[in-house]
């Protein structure tokens, strides 16, 4: 197992190098001059603009800029944003917020997704099953921002049962609705995935054997069927954690959450190559770690999966 | 299975603990009378550290506007009144100004406001190596070129001369009767002398904890979250706050979320209404809607690098034809939901802007007249035939200009029978790059947010030769008559005389039309129920000092 993890960690090095190079290159190739754009209709003199350009090394060739970024990243110095903040400070304040939102969303995926998945899988064809299936279809069909605005207006403005936005109040109470909205589509997929896995496994031979041995229904479902059904579900949720950490831009905007999604969006809009690349590097590492965790979870779920070759 | 349960429950625990750790700071301040209440207003993350001389955008500007007090301040109807200045006395035909500062004024750190506070701050902003964003505001002052350009040897503007602790002299390059009007802009704020080192450099950390002399005192800045300021107890200027402080809540994703917070009462003041609500916000029973004429100018510019659109007779005829072909009232009704006025001049026709008037010869070219438009276009064709006539109009895709520019393109296409379509650049900086480098192959929108309430500020920065080199003259307009009139206006004895000359300058612009006014927009804002005193000041910022809540 340790060797397997070691190999996987080593694999991240070329992945991180490759992505940072690509992303840095893409930002470099974006049209428009980010420094000139900062000043809109009131540009300072060319001499003053040259000073700023030099400060951010924008007057140097691409490869020098990139290598300098890389050297900085290796020494944990990601440089400064155009605003003058340390990039590491930006990451340190926005990452925990996104992490909280994502983990809360994943929590709902597990709780509601797997829970309803089991119930619908066992009670196939019943009214309950059909109602849940229909609801998931509706949630999958509605774009996240529509669902977000509607719930915000209904529960936040009209009924006043939850806060309308998050803003400075980063806590469970304020994050509840955004996390539910963010989890919405994934919950629907998890329900459907769990349900179909359970139904497939219910017809398997080992289930018949277990029942023949006289095990009660509850043990059969929870101990045998569920465990075997969870492998693809865990894969899905694990991959989703990576996606949620980097891709909650829409939900973050609707509920004014100052997470990594917003930081990435505004950094791209401003053409801040260093910030974009630093944020992406962090996201790539999170994605890789999430996938690694999923692979390790497999071994717990299915003893047949082992990573040592001998 | 047990292992799985352990994993699941540890996940749950981690979620809860993250929540518990960060759930601080949501307490409410205790209730007392309204003059102590903190009001929550819409804010956005400042582009730079909070340094007045480095801030020309509104996110930081709105905050700095109430943290600092300048020589003059603007009343709610746009009049410039002496504030830190005891007196501003012109001499040498408005080329030299003698400034006398009120005694007894202090910064929040207790330091006295003196002539040095101004001279050090202004020199710092003007010197090229300090790379301050508002540098160009000091261009009228003598000695600017020597400090602002490549290889500057001196670090002091020769036009700034200290007379005594409370007196200094400003010498300008050219006479300007409107110069005192400019001095209320936050770039002209004084800074504490103790915050500069021996080299004249501002302390690195100043922008994180600005020390001002304004109505409010800086308290705290949580990046991307909020900026808190509280009423200053040493302030003695014109703008005494009626509330206890302001919490600028940062909305990272735009105004939609802020509008929902106004509806639910979580936010008190919002200075812009999201596009999704502009049709309905005036009838929304859950908010107070505020609408007033804006100081922003909105026009369409045709750069002179386009063939057939030069400054000769043909170009003038074609420009006039395009202007006549645009049905402005229809566009206002459809695109702006009627929340705009038909333009009459090169500035919004607002009583808050010194010199704004509708009495300008030639402004009938702004009236829609399809027959006249065709006639002008045919006349131009007689001079030089325009094969496959075409005029595209550009907007930046990240700025919400699409409906407006599409309406303009349709208007041109339908009424002149020439090809015209609305095209976009991916973002504002790409548009700006093309404008500044004169590589735009079509017309584009020009939005101008003024810096001081004078019609002059809508003319010189957009159409002068100087602004074509280093400023916002993107049409390439260059006209000696206009230049002379602007100089003559500046050299007038008083503002009223100057404004008469500026009208003549506008008449020149109406002849050549480097830009066509499209509509006079309105400032649209919202306040939560129970909030009192929400109104816009002359340039569309909420008048923060007068806002109170129960």
Q: If you average pLDDT over residues B176-196, what whole number do you get?
A: 95
d(CA B255, CA A205): 58
Q: How confident is the model at residue B20 (pLDDT cuts 50, 70, 90)?
A: very low
The secondary element (H helix, E strand) that includes residue B229 is strand B226-231
CB B319 within 8 A of CB B492: no
Average pLDDT of the residues of chain B: 89
Together in a domain, A162 and A293: yes
Together in a domain, A11 and A139: no
Q: Which residues of A touch B424 (CB under 8 A)?
A: none
Give the gap in angstroms from C-alpha B46 to the nearest C-alpha of chain A: 8
Q: How confident is the model at residue B21 (pLDDT cuts 50, 70, 90)?
A: very low
d(CA B241, CA B333): 38
Q: Which CATH number do you get for residue A272?
A: 1.10.3720.10
> Quick check: is B484 in a domain?
yes
> Quick check: is B34 in a domain?
no
Contact across the interface for B223 and A90, Cβ inside 8 Å = yes
Q: Apex CA B155: angle with CA B153 and CA B159, to 5°? A: 110
Boundary (domain end) residue, out of A74, A106, A133: A74
pLDDT at residue B318 in the model? 94
> Quick check: is A293 in a domain?
yes
pLDDT at residue A307 in the model? 58
Together in a domain, B191 and B305: no
Return the DSSP state at B476: -
How many Cβ atoms sit within 10 Å of the Cβ of residue A189?
Answer: 19
Percent of chain B with pLDDT over 90: 75
pLDDT at residue B3 in the model? 44
> Quick check: is A60 in a domain?
yes
Return the DSSP state at B283: G
Q: How confident is the model at residue B159 (pLDDT cuts 50, 70, 90)?
A: very high
Buried b (16+ CB within 10 A) or exposed e, A67-76: eebbeebeee
Give the gap in angstroms from C-alpha A290 to the nearest C-alpha of chain B: 13
Contact across the interface for B471 and A171, Cβ inside 8 Å = no
d(CA B458, CA A177): 47
pLDDT digits (tens, 9 = 90+) for A186-245: 999 999 999 999 998 888 898 889 889 888 888 888 888 888 888 889 889 888 888 887
* Residue B14 pLDDT exceeds 70: no
Together in a domain, B198 and B327: no
Domain that holds residue B108: 2-20+68-204
Measuring CA to CA, how many Å separate A103 from each of A59, B9, B21, B414, B549? 41, 13, 14, 55, 38
Q: Which CATH number do you get for residue B503?
A: 3.10.105.10
d(CA B42, CA B27): 19
Return the DSSP state at B208: G
> Quick check: is B96 in a domain?
yes
Out of B253, B261, B430, whose CB is closest to A32? B430
Q: How confident is the model at residue B32 (pLDDT cuts 50, 70, 90)?
A: low
Together in a domain, A144 and A258: yes
Boundary (domain end) residue, out of B172, B204, B236: B204
Together in a domain, B349 and B491: yes
Boundary (domain end) residue, out of B151, B170, B204: B204
Give the gap in angstroms from C-alpha B382 to the nearest C-alpha of chain A: 38
Together in a domain, A65 and A105: no
The chain B residue lying nearest A105, using CA atoms, is B15
pLDDT at residue A30 in the model? 82
Together in a domain, A57 and A99: no
Q: Is A156 on the interface with B (CB under 8 A)?
A: yes
Q: Is A36 on the interface with B (CB under 8 A)?
A: yes
CB B510 within 8 A of CB B365: yes
Together in a domain, B173 and B307: no
Contact across the interface for B48 and A83, Cβ inside 8 Å = yes
What is the crossing angle of helices B402-416 and B313-325, to 10°?
A: 110
Nearby residues of A75 by Cβ (< 8 Å), 6 or more positions away: none
Together in a domain, A101 and A51: no
Q: Apex CA B386: angle with CA B382 and CA B387, to 5°? A: 130
Give the gap in angstroms from C-alpha B42 to the nearest C-alpha of chain A: 11
d(CA A148, CA B431): 32
What is the crossing angle of helices A172-202 and A226-247, to 10°?
A: 140
Q: What are phi and psi of B288, to 5 degrees?
A: -105, 125
The chain B residue lying nearest A164, using CA atoms, is B261
Among the listed ranges A256-265, B16-25, B34-43, which one has the minimum average pLDDT value?
B16-25
Nearby residues of A57 by Cβ (< 8 Å), 6 or more positions away: A64, A65, A68
pLDDT digits (tens, 9 = 90+) for A177-192: 999 999 998 999 999 9
Return the DSSP state at B203: P
Q: How confident is the model at residue B11 (pLDDT cuts 50, 70, 90)?
A: very low
> Quick check: is B548 in a domain?
no
pLDDT digits (tens, 9 = 90+) for A269-281: 888 888 999 998 8
- ipTM for the predicted complex comes to 0.87
Q: Which residue has the higher pLDDT, A38 or B328?
A: B328
> Quick check: is B89 in a domain?
yes
Contact across the interface for B131 and A49, Cβ inside 8 Å = yes
Q: What are phi and psi of B212, to 5 degrees?
A: -110, -175
* Residue A83 pLDDT exceeds 70: yes
Task: Give chain B's length.
Answer: 550
d(CA B310, CA B299): 18
pLDDT at residue A15 in the model? 87
Domain count for chain B, please give it: 2
pLDDT at residue B9 in the model? 46
The tokens for A264 are 């990435």
Q: Is A171 helix (H, G, I), strand (E, B) or coil?
A: coil
pLDDT at residue B231 in the model? 96
Q: Is A264 on the interface with B (CB under 8 A)?
A: no
Phi-psi region of B440 (alpha: psi -120 to 50; beta: other; left: phi over 0): beta
DSSP lists the bridge partners of residue B82 as: B72
> Quick check: is A84 in a domain?
no
Q: Which CATH number do you get for residue B109?
A: 3.90.76.10
Together in a domain, A253 and A125: yes
The tokens for B459 are 């003319």
> Quick check: is A309 in a domain?
no
Q: Is A119 on the interface with B (CB under 8 A)?
A: no
Out of A83, A104, A168, whose CB is closest to B222? A168
Contact across the interface for A269 and B427, Cβ inside 8 Å = yes
Return the DSSP state at B362: T
Q: If you average pLDDT over residues A93-103, what whole number do you get?
A: 91
The secondary element (H helix, E strand) that includes residue A35 is helix A34-38
Among the listed ranges A22-36, A98-112, B133-147, B496-510, which one has the minimum average pLDDT value?
A22-36
DSSP lists the bridge partners of residue B158 as: none
The secondary element (H helix, E strand) that includes residue B526 is strand B515-528
Among A85, A81, A86, residue whose Cα is nearest residue A35? A81
Measuring CA to CA, how many Å separate A149 from each of A143, A221, B194? 10, 39, 50
The tokens for A140 are 């999958």
* Residue B455 pLDDT exceeds 80: yes
What is the distance, to the nearest Å, from the Cα of residue B381 to the centroid of all Cα atoms in its chain?
40
d(CA B548, CA B550): 7
Contact across the interface for B46 and A171, Cβ inside 8 Å = no
Domain that holds residue A45: 2-74
pLDDT digits (tens, 9 = 90+) for B130-158: 999 999 999 999 999 999 887 778 889 99
How many Cβ atoms sit within 10 Å of the Cβ of residue A103?
Answer: 22
Together in a domain, A58 and A120: no
Together in a domain, B309 and B167: no
Q: Is B343 helix (H, G, I), strand (E, B) or coil?
A: coil
Q: What are phi and psi of B287, to 5 degrees?
A: -140, 170
Task: Give me the DSSP letters along B404-451.
Answer: HHHHHHHHHHHHH-SB--EEEESSHHHHHHHHHTT--SSEEEEEE--S
* Residue B507 pLDDT exceeds 90: yes
Q: If you average pLDDT over residues B260-284, what whole number do you get?
A: 93
> Quick check: is B231 in a domain?
no
* Residue A141 pLDDT exceeds 60: yes
Q: If you average pLDDT over residues A300-304, what whole number do you get?
A: 75
Return the DSSP state at A303: T
The chain A residue lying nearest B149, using CA atoms, is A47
Together in a domain, B328 and B443: yes
Best mutation target, A30, A48, A224, to test chain B (most B CBs within 10 A):
A48
CB A224 within 8 A of CB A207: yes
Best mutation target, B143, B252, B430, B470, to test chain A (most A CBs within 10 A):
B252
Measuring CA to CA, how many Å separate B116 from each of A194, B142, B160, B170? 73, 18, 10, 13
> Quick check: is B497 in a domain?
yes
Together in a domain, B317 and B186: no
The secondary element (H helix, E strand) that includes residue B103 is none
Boundary (domain end) residue, out of A17, A43, A74: A74
Domain count for chain A, please give it: 2
Among B69, B73, B52, B85, residue whose Cα is nearest residue B170? B85
DSSP lists the bridge partners of residue B220 as: B228
> Quick check: is A152 in a domain?
yes
Measuring CA to CA, how many Å separate B227 from each of A256, B239, B250, B444, B543? 16, 20, 8, 35, 17
Q: If you average pLDDT over residues B11-22, what whole number do you get?
A: 42
How many Cβ atoms sit within 10 Å of the Cβ of residue B437?
Answer: 12
Handedness of CA A264, A268, A269, A271 (dihedral sign): positive
CB B415 within 8 A of CB B370: yes
Together in a domain, A281 and A134: yes
Contact across the interface for B149 and A45, Cβ inside 8 Å = yes
Return the top range by mean pLDDT from A247-261, B22-36, B278-292: B278-292
Together in a domain, A53 and A143: no
The secondary element (H helix, E strand) that includes residue B124 is helix B115-126
d(CA B465, CA B471): 9
d(CA A38, CA A42): 9
Q: Which residue has the higher pLDDT, B412 or A38?
A: B412
Nearby residues of B152 by Cβ (< 8 Å), 6 or more positions away: A47, B127, B128, B129, B146
The chain B residue lying nearest A252, using CA atoms, is B253
Together in a domain, B336 and B481: yes
> Quick check: is A83 in a domain?
no
CB B144 within 8 A of CB B173: yes
What is the distance, to the nearest Å, from the Cα of residue B51 to the centroid of all Cα atoms in its chain?
17
Measuring CA to CA, how many Å separate B332 from each of B180, B323, B403, B451? 35, 15, 11, 25
Together in a domain, A13 and A127: no
> Quick check: is A129 in a domain?
yes
Boundary (domain end) residue, out of A74, A105, A122: A74
Together in a domain, B195 and B310: no
d(CA A79, CA A72): 7
pLDDT at residue A219 in the model? 87
Q: Is A160 on the interface with B (CB under 8 A)?
A: yes
pLDDT at residue B388 in the model? 87
* Residue B489 pLDDT exceeds 90: yes
pLDDT at residue A247 in the model? 59
- Residue holding tokens 């080329």? B95
Together in a domain, A112 and A33: no
Return the DSSP state at B112: B
Return the DSSP state at B29: P
> Quick check: is B369 in a domain?
yes
> Quick check: is A51 in a domain?
yes
């Amino acid at each position: 197992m340790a060797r397997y993890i070691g190999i996987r960690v080593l694999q991240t090095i070329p992945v991180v190098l490759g992505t940072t190079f690509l992303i840095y290159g893409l930002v470099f190739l974006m049209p428009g001059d980010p420094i000139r754009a900062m000043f809109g209709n009131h540009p300072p003199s060319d001499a003053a603009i040259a000073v700023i350009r030099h400060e951010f090394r924008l007057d140097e060739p691409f490869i020098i800029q990139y290598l300098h970024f890389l050297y900085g990243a290796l020494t944990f110095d990601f440089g400064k944003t155009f605003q003058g903040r340390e990039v590491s400070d930006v990451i340190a304040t926005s990452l925990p917020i996104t992490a909280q939102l994502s983990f809360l969303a994943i929590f709902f995926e597990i709780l509601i997704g797997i829970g309803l998945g089991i119930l619908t899988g066992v009670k196939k064809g019943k009214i309950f099953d059909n109602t849940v299936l229909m609801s998931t279809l509706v949630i999958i069909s509605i774009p996240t921002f529509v669902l977000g605005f509607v719930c915000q207006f209904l529960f936040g403005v009209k009924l006043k049962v939850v806060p309308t936005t998050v803003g400075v109040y980063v806590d469970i109470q304020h994050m509840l609705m955004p996390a539910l909205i963010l989890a919405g589509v994934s919950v629907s997929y998890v329900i459907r995935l769990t349900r179909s896995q359970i139904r497939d496994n219910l017809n398997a031979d080992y289930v018949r054997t277990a029942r023949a041995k006289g095990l009660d229904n509850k043990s059969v479902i929870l101990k045998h069927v569920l465990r075997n059904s969870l492998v693809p579900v865990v894969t899905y949720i694990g991959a989703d954690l990576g996606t949620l950490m980097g891709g909650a831009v829409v939900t973050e905007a609707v509920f004014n959450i100052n997470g990594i999604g917003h930081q990435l969006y505004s950094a791209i809009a401003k053409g801040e190559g260093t910030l974009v690349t630093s944020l992406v590097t962090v996201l790539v590492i999170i994605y890789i770690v999430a996938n690694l965790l999923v692979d390790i979870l497999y071994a717990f779920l299915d003893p047949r999966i082992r990573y040592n070759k001998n | 299975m047990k292992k799985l349960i352990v994993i699941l429950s540890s996940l749950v625990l981690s979620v809860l603990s993250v929540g518990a750790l960060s759930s601080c700071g949501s307490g409410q301040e205790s209730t007392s009378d309204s003059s102590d209440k903190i009001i929550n207003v819409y804010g956005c993350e400042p582009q730079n550290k909070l340094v007045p001389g480095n801030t020309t955008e509104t996110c930081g500007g709105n905050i700095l506007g109430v943290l600092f007090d300048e020589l003059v301040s603007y009343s709610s109807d746009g009049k410039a009144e002496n504030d830190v200045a005891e007196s501003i006395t012109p001499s040498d035909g408005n080329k030299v100004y003698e400034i006398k500062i009120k005694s007894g004024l202090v910064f929040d750190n207790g330091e006295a406001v003196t002539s040095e506070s101004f001279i050090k701050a202004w020199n710092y902003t003007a010197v090229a190596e300090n790379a301050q964003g508002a540098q160009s505001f000091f261009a009228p002052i003598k000695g600017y070129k020597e400090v602002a350009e490549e290889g500057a040897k001196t670090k002091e503007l020769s036009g700034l001369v200290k007379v005594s602790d409370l007196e200094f002299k400003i010498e300008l390059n050219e006479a300007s009767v409107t110069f005192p009007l400019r001095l209320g802009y936050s770039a002209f704020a004084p800074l504490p002398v103790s915050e500069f080192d021996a080299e004249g450099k501002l302390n690195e950390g100043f922008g994180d904890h600005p020390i001002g002399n304004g109505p409010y005192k800086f308290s705290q800045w949580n990046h991307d979250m909020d900026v808190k300021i509280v009423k200053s107890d040493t302030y003695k200027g014109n703008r005494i706050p009626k509330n206890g402080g302001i919490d600028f809540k940062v909305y990272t994703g735009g105004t939609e979320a802020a509008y929902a917070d106004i509806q639910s009462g979580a936010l008190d003041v919002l200075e812009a209404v999201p596009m999704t609500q502009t049709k309905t916000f005036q009838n929304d029973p859950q908010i107070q809607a505020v609408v007033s004429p804006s100081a922003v100018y909105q026009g369409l510019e045709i750069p002179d690098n386009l063939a057939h659109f030069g400054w000769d007779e043909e170009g003038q005829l074609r420009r006039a034809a395009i202007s006549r072909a645009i049905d402005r009232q229809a566009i206002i009704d459809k695109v702006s939901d009627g929340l705009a006025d038909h333009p009459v001049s090169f500035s919004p026709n607002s009583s808050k802007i010194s010199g704004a008037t509708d009495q300008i010869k030639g402004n009938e070219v702004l009236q829609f007249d399809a027959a006249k438009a065709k006639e002008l276009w045919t006349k131009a064709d007689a001079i030089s035939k325009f094969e496959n006539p075409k005029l595209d109009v550009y907007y930046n895709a990240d700025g919400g200009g699409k409906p407006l520019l599409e309406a303009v393109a349709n208007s041109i296409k339908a009424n002149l029978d020439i090809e015209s379509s609305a095209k976009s650049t991916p973002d504002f900086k790409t548009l700006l790059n093309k404008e500044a480098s004169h590589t735009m192959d079509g017309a584009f929108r020009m939005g101008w947010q003024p810096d001081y309430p004078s019609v002059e500020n809508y003319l010189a920065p957009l159409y002068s030769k100087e602004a074509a080199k280093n400023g916002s003259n993107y049409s390439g307009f260059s006209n000696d008559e206009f230049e002379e009139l602007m100089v003559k206006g500046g050299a007038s004895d008083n503002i009223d005389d100057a404004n008469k000359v500026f009208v003549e300058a506008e008449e020149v612009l109406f002849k050549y039309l480097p830009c066509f006014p499209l509509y006079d927009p309105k400032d649209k804002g919202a306040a939560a129920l129970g909030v009192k005193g929400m109104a816009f000041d002359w340039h569309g910022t909420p008048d923060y000092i007068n806002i109170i809540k129960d």
